Chains A and B, each alone.
Chain A
Amino acid sequence: MNDTTDIDDIINNLRDDDISNLHSGIEIQSSLDDSFQQTDLTDLKKAWLAERMSPDILAFQTSLIDRLMDRIRIQAAYIEENSMADFHNSGDIKMKLLIVESELERIKFLVRGYLRTRLSKIDKYTIYIIQSGENQQEGNADQFDLRLLLSPQEIQYMERHHRILLNLYNTQFLSALPAQLQRLDDSSGGISMVEEPDLDKPVFIRVLETVERPIRVGLDEITLEKGNIYVLRYSAISKYLIGGEVELI
């Protein structure tokens, strides 16, 4: 219980000066980025959907997530500040809190979904991602270092998780196996143990901007026109996804 009173004190101290400063700061800034905000939210939804639907891992939206996390913090502070304000205030503040909280939860859901989807892909393709980095360092320029697509936290997570898992496997059973069967990235025998994303997996896309040049899918050629919805293999459109001409749905 000591903790809560401590926090109360701190917030009480803060409330009078710092938060009012904070809010006036936001006011000035807000007129500038009102439209900016709206696109951030649509961008987040898009990033979330794309990440959920694409078979491989996409680039981490660093600045978008940073901006949103900042705003999530501001809104959480707003809730905290106002829920402690005296309650014999009108019902208006309750209504406002309800709205702010609902929105906050909606956005947290999206952010969480986005990060979790990425983590599940990172878990699945850990060895593949690590190898792509090693190959590049060895001078195999044809392979892109997938670690560049991850955020620093994600890399840290991946490396630690991999180390712990490796350790567990080794102590539990790998050490009891013959030496030639101990590797986790064995590719002898024609089948690679390393799981790779299947880039030919079919995906649903919607075309946002008409692409003039027809693209080839298998034996056919198709022209992507604005508003079209297609199901086709991911590898055929992945470069248009990054360019923003199509979106995954």
Chain B
Amino acid sequence: MDSLKLIGLRVPKMSPMVQMQVPLWLALILKKQARCKIVMPSWLEEEHLRQVYERETTVQDRFSDQLPWRWMELSQSLLAHASDDLKSPLAKVRSLLQDIREVRLAKARAGISELNESHVQMDNLGHMEINELRPFAILVMDQLRRITSLTEPEPDHDDDDYDNDDV
């Protein structure tokens, strides 16, 4: 197919057997029409997932940083529409993903007890995982903030700008 100009990108001329990088939505359209093979990201292969899983189970207090930001969304749509392009056996990858998800979910749940009124750090959490936590976390923090602001006079956070000028 000839090159094509879109709003967000320019699709280069596509010819058979040539690898190129396109957005996922475009790859999935082509895949559905059986016009392409998707080169799977390396993190979605069995070997890498096994490593991630081991890291997740050994390191208890942190999330592994070896997964991309939208790993749940990406793996879901790639496995649903392009599972035949996967090099590793599909069942293995699926069960590993499921295991990783469960370990991380357990950690995230344990982390809920850390919620407080001012701030919580959640590094390396995926976008989907954050969205799962969001309604609950925000509600709890908001309520806690209201309670503490009633019990003790709130330190004036408006003077953020000045607190660095400590002379």
Contacts and interface: CB of A to CB of B under 8 A. Distances in A.
A50 to B, nearest CB: 15
Interface residues of B, number: 39
A109 to B, nearest CB: 12
Contacts of A232: 118-120
A68 B10 CA distance: 15
A212 to B, nearest CB: 10
Contacts of B124: 229
Contacts of B145: 200, 202, 233
A104 to B, nearest CB: 7
B6 A227 contact: no
Contact of A204 (B10, B130, B142, B157): B130
A66 B77 CA distance: 32
B1 interface: yes
Interface stretch (A144-152, A153-161, A181-189, A216-224): A216-224
Contacts of A229: 121-125, 130
B137 interface: yes
Contacts of A104: 7
A227 B157 CA distance: 24
B105 interface: no
Nearest to B145: A200
Contact of B118 (A26, A228, A233): A233
A46 B107 CA distance: 28
Interface in A85-104: 92, 95-96, 98-100, 102-104
B6 A230 contact: no
Interface in B116-164: 117-125, 127, 130, 134, 137-138, 141-142, 145, 154-155, 157-158, 160, 163-164
Interface of A: 26, 30, 34, 37-38, 40-41, 68, 71-72, 75, 92, 95-96, 98-100, 102-104, 106-107, 200-204, 213-220, 222, 227-233, 235-236, 249
User: Can you list the 3 inter-chain pairs with the closest CB atoms, starting with the nearest?
Assistant: A218-B118, A41-B8, A232-B119
Given A107-B8, A230-B120, 4 more contacts: A37-B9, A102-B29, A103-B25, A214-B164
Interface of B: 1-2, 4-11, 25-26, 29, 33, 35, 117-125, 127, 130, 134, 137-138, 141-142, 145, 154-155, 157-158, 160, 163-164
19 contacts: A26-B5, A34-B9, A37-B9, A37-B10, A38-B9, A40-B7, A95-B1, A96-B2, A103-B7, A103-B8, A107-B8, A202-B137, A202-B142, A220-B118, A227-B123, A229-B124, A230-B120, A231-B122, A236-B160
